[in-house]
Copies of this chain bind each other. A is one copy, B any other.
Amino acid sequence: MIVVIKKDQEKKQVQNLISWVEKLGLKVHLSEGENTTIIGLVGDTSKVDIDLIRTLDIVESVTRVQEPYKNANRKFHPADSIIDVNSCKFGGNHFQIIAGPCSIESEKQVIEVAMACKKAGATLLRGGAFKPRTSPYSFQGMGVDGLKLLKKAKAETGLPIVTEIMSEEHIDDFEGVDVMQVGARNMQNFDLLKRLGKLKTPILLKRGIAATIEEWLMSAEYIMSEGNPNVILCERGIRTYETYTRNTLDLSAIPVLKERTHLPVIVDPSHALGISRFVKPMSLASVGAGADGLMIEVHNDPAHALCDGAQSLRPEQFEDVVTSLRAMLPAVGKELN
């Protein structure tokens, strides 16, 4: 960490800062120029509160040289992490497709969708039982009953299952769930993250709607620092000023993450744009950008669904996406499963 001191500051103030830093166990390199005094902090600076230093009156600027994340940092773990979910591998040259309905509605629905997804090429099944909704008046999901139906679909199809957890109070009900998803709104629910860090179950950590890449990795760090190394990152669009799309899918984040962390990164194109006809191009774009997988919403019953064309794909549309994906994967050195 490099701290630049403002011109003409009292020596005593500078010395206070140095003493405080040394008490944290860091070595200090002091370089005094005519106009500028620079303090280099050497050691494990992840403990240092950069915001605190930045707000000191004597400080001009602070630059972090070392990233504040350790377990998630590729520097200390150069090889890709391969996360194994019932033999579905995330990371390296593997590619996974998680598919299924947004919400679990009935046994028939979830099993039929699961079968259709499997047939079309999905390697894991998703389905929402606990649904985070902006409005208290919207459907909040089937809850524990939904989890049971999802587990039936797993038994039926053999597909590992992925579903969202919203509160540490529900953790026992998630026994048998293969991947526990933390939604965008809970990315900084630190009590929940710490609790999940005590498990070994793989955690799918969605990016907060306005989270920086660094904050996202720090949330992964919360889970990993408690002992659970199995974190899969999921880009799902960020909030920008643009209104023609619900969110802006930040595919630039993928090569950036690939450089900074060894964790696998997948993309959820269904939620990012909120419009089913954009799922295919953004799925192919994700492959090009280097993603390790996709999470796609599929429903199977257009006759009873509200109308054709909600955010979800019909199975045949999903199959078309999978076919195009397969054709592109060799160009980026990946293969499905």
A contact set with B: CB distance below 8 Å: 2, 4, 13, 16-17, 20, 29, 31, 33-36, 38, 40, 42, 46-47, 49, 51-52, 54-58, 60-61, 63-65, 68, 132-140, 166-169, 185-186, 188-192, 194, 209-210, 212-215, 218, 221-222, 225-226, 237-246, 248-256, 259-260, 272-278, 281-290, 306-311, 324, 327-328, 330-332
Contact = CB atoms under 8 A, between A and B. Distances in A.
Most buried by B among A65, A132, A213, A245: A65
A58 B310 CA distance: 10
B240 A241 contact: yes
A274 to B, nearest CB: 6
Contacts of A20: 306-307
Contacts of A242: 212-213, 238, 250, 253
10 contacts: A2-B38, A55-B311, A56-B307, A136-B190, A213-B244, A240-B241, A244-B253, A248-B252, A254-B281, A286-B288
Given A42-B36, A191-B169, A278-B256, A56 B134 contact: no
A241 B239 contact: yes
Contacts of A4: 2, 63, 65
A245 B63 CA distance: 16
A172 B258 CA distance: 43
Contact of A281 (B186, B191, B221, B255): B255
A280 B47 CA distance: 31
Given A65-B60, A281-B290, A256 B245 contact: yes
Interface of A is mostly: mixed
9 cross-chain pairs, A with B, having the tightest CB-CB distances, nearest first: A57-B309, A210-B210, A284-B288, A285-B288, A285-B289, A185-B188, A288-B288, A167-B191, A63-B63
Given A136-B222, A186-B189, A212-B241, A252 B255 contact: no
Contacts of A252: 237, 245, 248-249, 272-273, 278, 282
A49 to B, nearest CB: 6
A271 B218 CA distance: 20
Contacts of A243: 212, 243
Most buried by B among A64, A134, A169, A245: A134
A80 B256 CA distance: 34
A202 B194 CA distance: 28
Contacts of A310: 52, 55-56
A166 B218 CA distance: 18
